[in-house]
Chain A
Amino acid sequence: MDKNVIYSIKSLYRESMNIIGYTFGSGEHSCCVVGALRGNEIQQMAICAQLIDTLKRLEENGCIANGKSIMIIPCANHYSMNIGKRFWPLDNTDINRMFPGYDQGETTQRIADGLFKSIKDYVYGVQMASFYREGEFLPHVKVMDTDCKNRETYESLTDFGLPYGLIRIPQPYDTATLNYNWQIWGCHAYSLFSNYTEHIGRQSTQTAVNAVLRFLIAKGIIKWALHRGMHTRVLNEELIINVQARNAGILKKHVYVGEEVSEGDLLCEIIHPLEGNTIGRIKSPTDGTVFFAYNKQLVTEYSDVFNIVPFSYT
């Protein structure tokens, strides 16, 4: 394993923030895995840390394929992580809205540029992503449906062995993300969503680590045996049904992520926050699997409380 500082930035009164890349094997830049770009992506960093620990052992046992290399960057924003802030400490900008970056630009543009220069030429890229909504997801992997469609990118969604592979039509605000720009540069890029962001789930961490290892095996980058994981259902993200709250108050959930529900099943109640009575009941609009569940106790009107993946699209 080689350990290198791939980008460094100084602060007035803090030690330098060194973004470290851990490289296994040598030769072709085969796969890069990026963890936390935001200061609260603790699960994403922990997944990379465990992946590094595993790859160390695999490398010692000669399991990295000849002529292939893997780089893992567990954290690119520990200045924010060390003060419990999601975005950049000074100006609250998001590194993951700054790609491909600009070396003469603002601080987070420079960080994005420094990072991207080191990782843009990998054949495969996996970002441990978090979502802007508060809640718990079923683990899944996602690709952007950019103009540079590549059949292999979509077909390889199943190589992770996660229950779902999603294809997303990018919105304008997606165009400055790492995943989007990786793909524009010709990399087969994936965003891997684990269950949590600020919480490290033991099982979910292992699930994500295994998903990446399975992908590396499928691509011939590591030589190792691992069970094939789950059958992956690939679908367009827009087919997922959003279930919104139409009342505001205290959320009392009756179902949780991963549960199967039938049309009409009670998903949750909204309780009056001052008087305790039920002011709203939300029922499932379809037969399907609970893919996302909001995890805050208070809900605002229009909160996206559940996402359901329907069993069928008809």
Chain B
Amino acid sequence: MIKPVSVAALPVAENFIIQKNRIENDAGPGCKRVCVVTGTHGDELEGQYVCAQLAKILNEDKQKLSGIVDIYPALNPLGIDSVTRGFPMFDLDMNRIFPGSQTGLLAEVVAHDVIHDIDGADMCIDIHSSNIFLREIPQVRVSEQTAAELLSYAVMLNVDLVWIHASATVLESTLAHSLNIRGVKTLVVEMGVGMRITENYCTQLVDGILNLLHELGMWSGQIGQVRKPLVSKDQRIDFLNSDAHGIFIPGASHGSHVNAGDCIGKVIDPLVGVVVEEVLAPNSGLLFTLREYPVVFGGSLLARIMEDSKNG
């Protein structure tokens, strides 16, 4: 059933609407509810295919569902419609204004409505797809402060990596943080690249979500083979930022294992035809982030490598 989550009048003959698709079966009092949320950033589209596939599978085998799955494919419909990462006509990143406000601007009221709608769910999966600059392997990101509670769920999602990262105050205004402090266990998924859909990643995550539902006792339908992710417990994450300006040409495959000293790519100057920077892996490990957009300034992130575990 399609339900409105937030509605507001736009200036000329149109309403702003955020919708969710509620798929339910055997949903009596006390049943479990899982929310799948995406489209906070209008240029991140991988979640679109995940939502579509999940809705299709659940609807086709609805009798095997026990509980409620709410699918929110677009928290920022105006952004998706206009190839805009942010909320159009609003300066702040939409994922920096949660939990929102009933008396704020449109984006803040929307954020409030979304939180209010999800509140009380057993779990939430917040799907992101990096940005147009970087390609990511399917991964779950959890903060150090929530890792103890969330890690056991993160590994169910059929991703390749679970990255436990340091907390930062500025991240306290994300959807995930706002839901986690309300008791809604929320996992942030990052995968693929902005403005594109990577079908095999999406299918992988759909299998993971079905597995999570199965583990929660909400899904008795078919589930695929679920991989065991690498977990960044004590391993170092190397950030490789460009020190030069130019055009980045990758030299290693995204998602591959690289050895210390391997060439990850090079930055070239097309005007004079020279390599201005050769980017080498500082350590051996998993190349889980790789730059997709070629133009770089000094400081542009080129790659991230999770160092091999010293424990083997």
**Contact residues of A with B, CB < 8 Å?**
9-13, 86, 90-92, 97, 104-110, 132-134, 171-173, 175-176, 242, 244, 247-250, 273-274, 298-304
Does B92 belong to the interface (CB within 8 Å)?
Answer: yes
A300-B106, A302-B105 given; A274·B245 CB < 8 A: no
User: Within 8 Å CB of B104, what residues of A?
Assistant: 302, 304
A-B contact pairs, 19 of them (CB 8 A): A12-B245, A90-B295, A90-B300, A91-B131, A97-B170, A104-B239, A105-B299, A133-B91, A172-B96, A172-B169, A176-B170, A248-B10, A249-B12, A273-B12, A274-B12, A299-B11, A300-B16, A302-B109, A303-B106
Q: Is the CB of A12 within 8 A of B91?
A: no
User: Within 8 Å CB of B295, what residues of A?
Assistant: 12, 90
User: Within 8 Å CB of B271, what residues of A?
Assistant: 12-13
Q: Is the CB of B269 within 8 A of A9?
A: no
Cα–Cα distance between A90 and B246 once the two chains are bound (Å): 12
Cα–Cα distance between A302 and B112 once the two chains are bound (Å): 13
Cα–Cα distance between A298 and B10 once the two chains are bound (Å): 9
Q: Is the CB of A298 within 8 A of B12?
A: yes
Cα–Cα distance between A133 and B173 once the two chains are bound (Å): 19
User: Within 8 Å CB of B122, what residues of A?
Assistant: none
Most chain B C-beta atoms within 10 Å of own C-beta, residue among A9, A12, A92, A176: A12
Partner of B299 from the list A13, A110, A274, A299 (CB cut-off 8 Å) is: A110
Q: Is the CB of B298 within 8 A of A110?
A: yes
Partner of B245 from the list A11, A105, A133, A176 (CB cut-off 8 Å) is: A11
Partner of A133 from the list B105, B133, B169 (CB cut-off 8 Å) is: B105
Does B97 belong to the interface (CB within 8 Å)?
Answer: yes
Q: Is the CB of B103 within 8 A of A244?
A: yes
A12-B246, A172-B172 given; A273·B103 CB < 8 A: no
Q: Is the CB of B301 within 8 A of A12?
A: no
Partner of A10 from the list B9, B298, B300 (CB cut-off 8 Å) is: B298
User: Within 8 Å CB of A13, what residues of B?
Assistant: 271
Per-residue A-contact encoding for B61-102, CB less than 8 Å = 1, 0 else? 000000000000000000000000110011111001100000
Q: Is the CB of A300 within 8 A of B241?
A: no
Q: Is the CB of A242 within 8 A of B90?
A: no
**Is the contact region of chain A dominated by helix, strand, or loop, or is it mixed?**
loop
**Contact residues of B with A, CB < 8 Å?**
8-13, 16, 85-86, 89-93, 96-97, 103-106, 109, 131, 133, 169-173, 239, 241, 245-247, 269-271, 295, 297-301
User: Within 8 Å CB of A299, what residues of B?
Assistant: 11
Cα–Cα distance between A273 and B9 once the two chains are bound (Å): 12
Cα–Cα distance between A14 and B8 once the two chains are bound (Å): 43
Q: Is the CB of B12 within 8 A of A173?
A: no
Min C-beta distance of A204 to chain B, whole Å = 21
Q: Is the CB of B133 within 8 A of A248?
A: no
Most chain A C-beta atoms within 10 Å of own C-beta, residue among B86, B91, B247: B91
Q: Is the CB of B105 within 8 A of A303?
A: yes
Cα–Cα distance between A300 and B12 once the two chains are bound (Å): 9
A90-B295, A107-B298, A173-B96 given; A300·B10 CB < 8 A: yes
A172-B173, A173-B173 given; A247·B9 CB < 8 A: yes
Partner of B13 from the list A86, A92, A273 (CB cut-off 8 Å) is: A273
Min C-beta distance of B91 to chain A, whole Å = 4
Cα–Cα distance between A171 and B109 once the two chains are bound (Å): 16
User: Within 8 Å CB of B86, what residues of A?
Assistant: 92
Q: Is the CB of B133 within 8 A of A91?
A: yes
User: Within 8 Å CB of B93, what residues of A?
Assistant: 173
Q: Is the CB of A12 within 8 A of B298?
A: no
Cα–Cα distance between A92 and B96 once the two chains are bound (Å): 15
Cα–Cα distance between A240 and B91 once the two chains are bound (Å): 21
Cα–Cα distance between A133 and B271 once the two chains are bound (Å): 41
